[in-house]
Amino acid sequence: MADLLLTHGYFLFEDEKEREIMKPYAPLGLLYISAYLKRAGFDVETFDTTFADRDALVGRLAATPGGVVGVYTNLMTRANVLWVAEQAHRFGWTVVFGGPESANYPEDYLAGGADVVVVGEGEATLEALLPALRDRGPHRLHGVAGIVFRDEAGVLVYNEARDKIADIDSLPWPDREAIDMDRYVDTWRTHHGMGSVNLITARGCPYKCNWCSHAVFGYSHRRRDHVDCADEVEQIVERYRPEQVWYADDVFTISHKWLFEYTQEMKRRGLRIPFETISRADRMQKEEVLAQLAELGCYRIWIGSESGSQRILDAMQRGVKVEQVQHAAKLAKRYGIEVGMFLMWGYEGEELSDMEATVEHVKETNPDIFFTTVSYPIKNTGYYEKVKPRLIFSSDWANSSDRELRVAGRHSRQYYKHADSWLINEVAAHRLRDTDPAEAAAKSAAAAQARATMLACADEVEL
Ligand code: B12
Ligand code: SF4
């Protein structure tokens, strides 16, 4: 039996929306852990739930009862991972949870089926935890840094935090061979014409946007050596033949020096693979940064734009100016890079005038694609603390998520649906104004209607 079975609770085929999107990515955290522990001599198996169904996972748990199962948790998979824990216990497994979500709710997860919650990076903690579990069981884990557990009296014990891995170049690359990577690449290729593989070139983000979760990497920022990253991409291309990659970093262009060195290294190797990634507008103000991105193969850059109102951006501690977003988008387009924008409605203090500023901002920036969300307070973030007195908690924690937390007094979901329609139509009208005035007028009318409907339900608030 393996020393550790790694899994997660994301079942692609259960999620109607994700089935439409069909852009699955491998669970990198688990693959990093697998590679690290294998190198340290552990026998590790990964059961990737992405393309699997629940019966198959139960079958795997039933096949070798009594082992240790490590489960990745994130904000969307709460109910699923609690179910995994329940199934694992049926067959005598010890359950270890890790990832951002259980780090935010260790007590609830321990009550809900975890034997141990790992807070922070999993590699070194599991290396210490697995022998401790074998020798001492799940209730005498004092001294193992980076975990929360219950002692024999049932008292919650928070061990000291574990230091972050100082040199992330010392880590082996993610153990992609542990899962069916070809299936990921094929799924992408079938649905989008291009196979895609994810990788990261850094860990953590030092910025303080106050709705963003820093549960795993804190405010650290550690970059990998550019040569090692190029080696990994070369290996990915040779082994999996994707048509593109996705750099899943928090802020890809955070270090300009690194970007230049990496671009040069890739150029030297004749390796130009299309990619998309996310960054901050303030780290894309220089023309040469966009030029490098284009040279490297960037075909779409995602910008967390959030709001067109500087007042709201400042309240979010975003550290970015509205004009910087517009400038970054302009530069990106100059270099033939598509612009994707993320926007957020309903942040604390947002007024109609702020929403109007957002609509104008999107018109002005004219991104190729944009998505909106209604802001949601992730536990342990500044935003969560700010609205905590007005949070309406679900009575069924196990079947809800932080995304569904409601803030008393805030406009209804319906209000923001109309806001979306207002924004989409207004932007469409703006785009069509020179080429198709009749259609532009129709879109304008639809925008006005959506705005009016939105205002008509302004008094309906979350209770
Ligand atoms: C890429 C990414 C995505 C991708 C896809 C995920 C994928 N398969 O790659 C997409 C775009 C789809 C996505 C979507 C969402 N994401 Co996202 N995403 C990320 C991002 C930027 C990188 C993930 C990554 O590869 N990390 C690198 C690996 C190495 O880190 P890791 O996974 O955390 O793993 C380490 C530890 O957590 C731990 N660990 C992990 N698993 C386990 C298991 C065990 C047993 C143990 C002991 C330890 C352990 O050890 C690992 C190695 O040290 C992270 C932020 C981040 N920097 O991590 C956000 C992040 C995970 N996402 C987040 C959110 C909120 C979302 C969305 C809800 C956003 C939305 N509004 O829709 C959706 C949910 C999607 C879903 N259905 O689950 C939040 C999660 C917050 C939370 N508390 O759970 C994060 C942390 C961003 C943030 N800072 O707020 N995301
Ligand atoms: S939103 Fe982006 S830039 Fe801001 S703290 Fe989070 S990862 Fe960093």
Average pLDDT, the chain: 97
Q: What confidence score (pLDDT) does residue 74 get? A: 96
Q: Look up tokens 């106050």; give the residue.
A: 210
Which residue out of 250, 306, 314, 316 has the highest number of ligand 2 atoms within 8 Å of its CB and is therefore the one to mutate?
250
185 lines ligand 2 (CB under 6 A): no
Residue 218 Cα to ligand 1 middle (Å): 13
- Which protein residue's CA is at the shortest distance from atom 46 of ligand 1? 98
144 lines ligand 1 (CB under 6 A): no
Mean predicted confidence (pLDDT) in 383-407: 95
Residue 36 Cα to ligand 2 middle (Å): 27
Q: Look up tokens 């994810």; give the residue.
A: 198
Residue 100 Cα to ligand 1 middle (Å): 7
Q: What angle do CA 51, 197, 10 make, to 5 degrees?
A: 30
Which residue out of 75, 200, 207, 381 has the highest number of ligand 2 atoms within 8 Å of its CB and is therefore the one to mutate?
207
Q: Are 286 and 256 in contact (CB under 8 A)?
A: yes
Atom of ligand 2 nearest to the CA of 318: 4
CA distance 302 to 309: 19
User: Nearest bound ligand to CA 380?
Assistant: 1
Mean predicted confidence (pLDDT) in 22-40: 98
Q: What is the dihedral of CA 378, 382, 383, 385, to 10 degrees?
A: 90
205 lines ligand 2 (CB under 6 A): yes
Residue 142 Cα to ligand 2 middle (Å): 33
Atom of ligand 1 nearest to the CA of 97: 45
CA distance 95 to 114: 5
Mean predicted confidence (pLDDT) in 89-104: 98
Residue 269 Cα to ligand 1 middle (Å): 31
Residue 219 Cα to ligand 2 middle (Å): 10
Atom of ligand 2 nearest to the CA of 205: 8
Q: What confidence score (pLDDT) does residue 1 get? A: 83
Band (168; pLDDT cuts 50, 70, 90): very high
Residue 249 Cα to ligand 1 middle (Å): 10
Q: Kindly give, in sequence order, each residue whose CB lies less than 8 Å from that of residue 45, ignoring residues fewer than 6 positions away.
A: 2, 4, 5, 6, 178
pLDDT tens digits for 285-324? 999 999 999 999 999 999 999 999 999 999 999 999 999 9
CA distance 141 to 28: 27
pLDDT tens digits for 172-220? 999 999 999 999 999 999 999 999 999 999 999 999 999 999 999 999 9
Residue 74 Cα to ligand 1 middle (Å): 6
Q: Look up tokens 């608030």; give the residue.
A: 461
Residue 97's CB is within 10 A of a number of other CB atoms, namely 29
- Which protein residue's CA is at the shortest distance from atom 3 of ligand 2? 207
pLDDT tens digits for 252-280? 999 999 999 999 999 999 999 999 999 99
Q: Are 386 and 346 in contact (CB under 8 A)?
A: no
Question: Is the pLDDT confidence value at 463 over 90?
Answer: no
Question: Is the pLDDT confidence value at 122 over 90?
Answer: yes
pLDDT tens digits for 337-362? 999 999 999 999 999 999 999 999 99
Q: Are 72 and 79 in contact (CB under 8 A)?
A: no
From the list 105, 48, 43, the residue with the least C-alpha distance to 75 is 105
- Which protein residue's CA is at the shortest distance from atom 73 of ligand 1? 76
Question: Is the pLDDT confidence value at 33 over 90?
Answer: yes
Residue 393's CB is within 10 A of a number of other CB atoms, namely 10
CA distance 228 to 247: 14
DSSP 300-321: EEEEEEE-S-HHHHHHTT----
**pTM for the full model?**
0.97
